[in-house]
Amino acid sequence: MAETQYSKVFAAARKNTPLIHHITNYVTVNDCANITLCAGGAPVMAHSPEEVEEMVQFAGALVLNIGTLDHAQIESMLLVGKAAAKRDIPIILDPVGAGATTLRTKTAQRLMTELPISVLKGNAGEVGVLAGVDAKVRGVDSAGISGDPISITQEYAGRSGMTVVLSGQTDIISDGNQVLLVENGHPLMGAISGTGCMAASVTGVFTACDKDLVTASAAALAAFGLAGERAAALAKGPGSFKVALFDALATLTPDDLAEGGRIRKA
């Protein structure tokens, strides 16, 4: 099987086992740690302000997730983000529920203002709210976006300087210039909590291994989505699907991604 630019990133993750520092939510923290391992990385879930600046020195990427936000966590995110920036470590922000409450929206905006966020990964509602277009969020789920999501993603990426990942049935990834669409995945991925958080963790693993953030992000989402497809073929429902998802990603190979990844230019 011929290598692709996407399978090469995956192979690098398997070879290098990058440490991925997370400050994430307590609902999915264990799932994020395990999916990081399955993707080829090594997780650390340090959140205390007394140690985050020291811990991130060993990391290949930093994943910030505002799913269960509080003020102490915000302090730690700012501290660790500034330390990561000094080492040019990619920072992935998952703005869970931005648009649902003022605290979440303002915190996401503050993090993007004060930290050099590398990749913003959110659903259509979250990305739309932060991009300043008409979008709705219900709890932590997208309730819709007005306008063309591809154009919104590309314009916001160009304006913000971030690589923007808008997750959905088709994932959209753009840095303002190139736009990639990832069509891997399965509806059962929406039947369990935490797949969005896990996708951010896999993105952290892949971006730690390639400076082309669009390619790395697309490869991460394709690998995760392909694992979801394989898991769904074995599952009887959400519970067995979750177990199968970890197994499917852990056993996925770069050749599998080269063959089964459905990534195309917009």
* pTM (two decimals): 0.94
List, for residues 199-217, the tens digit of each pLDDT value. 999 999 999 999 999 999 9
CB 40 within 8 A of CB 252: no
- Residue 79's pLDDT is what? 98
- Cα-flanking dihedrals φ and ψ of residue 199, to 5°? -60, -35
What is the band of 84 on the pLDDT scale with cuts at 50, 70, 90? very high
List, for residues 49-80, the tens digit of each pLDDT value. 999 999 999 999 999 999 999 999 999 999 99
pLDDT(143) > 50? no
Beta pairing, strands 61-65 & 119-123: unpaired
Written out in words, the top-level CATH class of the domain with range 5-265 is alpha beta
Distance CA 31, CA 219 (A): 20
- Residue 132's pLDDT is what? 84
